[in-house]
Amino acid sequence: MRRTSTPLLAAALALAAMAAHAESAPAPGGAAVPGKPRIALVIHGGAGYVAPASLTEADRRGFHADLDRALDAGNAILTAGGSALDAVQAAVVVMEESPRFNAGKGAVFNAQGGHELDASIMEGHTRRAGAVAGVTTVRNPVVLARAVMESSAHVMLAGAGAEAFADGRPEIERVPNTWFDTEHRRRGLEKARQEEASGQASRGHGDGDGAPAYFGTVGAVALDAQGHIAAATSTGGMTNKKWGRVGDSPVIGAGTWADARCGVSGTGWGEFYIRNAVAHDICARVAYRGDSLTVAAEEVVNAIVPAHGGNGGAIALDSDGNIAMPFNTGSMFRGWIRPDGTRGTAIHEAE
């Protein structure tokens, strides 16, 4: 049979798919603007408890500004017709560069007084995924996670092996481990050590410095004009962590998941997100049980995880542009841009 596919035909088919995707946008709130492709973006900067009174007005403005910058970075790619994969990477990099979150600059200290960083990224329609765990000199771990996805035969690389893979890759910027230091996180480590020595260490994973205590893991999920979904997550893990502990953030299906119709990035007590395959479970309920995104996300985060002793939050996005942001910790730093262009950022439950 003679092949009829040509670059021109492929381009025409792609445009037709984009048009069909735009025309099928839902009519209720959050619907796409008629005639334009449906795109959406949701981000988080960690779930935990931040007492409203513990944040100064300058702190509050700073968090909202950083979330807005992350939204802007991802949305600029989506509105230009770029991929969801590029969008989530761009959004996460902005938050990795901010000292306010527990990812990249500002990552928490481990028990040895250093930093071990984890990240993952996944493209839904291809099920390609990449992850790194326990890296110590990579400025933006999410960029290395994508390199693992695109330039290796593997999904996850850890520790010295991940660092070796990063060697000689010009797109991977390297920094000394001390580059991730912040005074706020150092105080958190000192407090955690004091509590541990006195036998009063809690099982949670706030900063250990009393106020504010928040997880700070970052993540993003995006829907692009081609109807594709991608998700990414990045973290410094748990304050005072030992023995090379790795949480859910780099574990595909636990902290990050994307498929053709759903994407999730989680934030919270990682051990429980791993045990309950939280990110995948949310999307599986959408795919196999027919749950709405909101019902699936709310049940997994606010019923399944607490029933096993954990807590946290998640952001989720489906192929219709619906967004869910459940959490049970009192606060979750979050931001969103819906298909109709409306956007916002929030910290506390009432926002």
Return the active site residues: 217
> From CA 110, how far away is CA 153, in angstroms rounded?
30
CA distance 103 to 120: 12
Contact 213, 331 (CB under 8 A): no
Runs of H (alpha helix) within the chain: 7-23, 57-79, 84-96, 141-151, 159-166, 183-197, 270-275, 278-284, 293-299, 305-307
Order across the sheet with 312-318: list the strands.
256-258, 262-268, 312-318, 323-324
Report phi then psi at 6, rounded to 5. -135, 160
- Conformation bin of residue 115: beta by default, left when phi > 0, alpha when psi is -120 to 50: beta
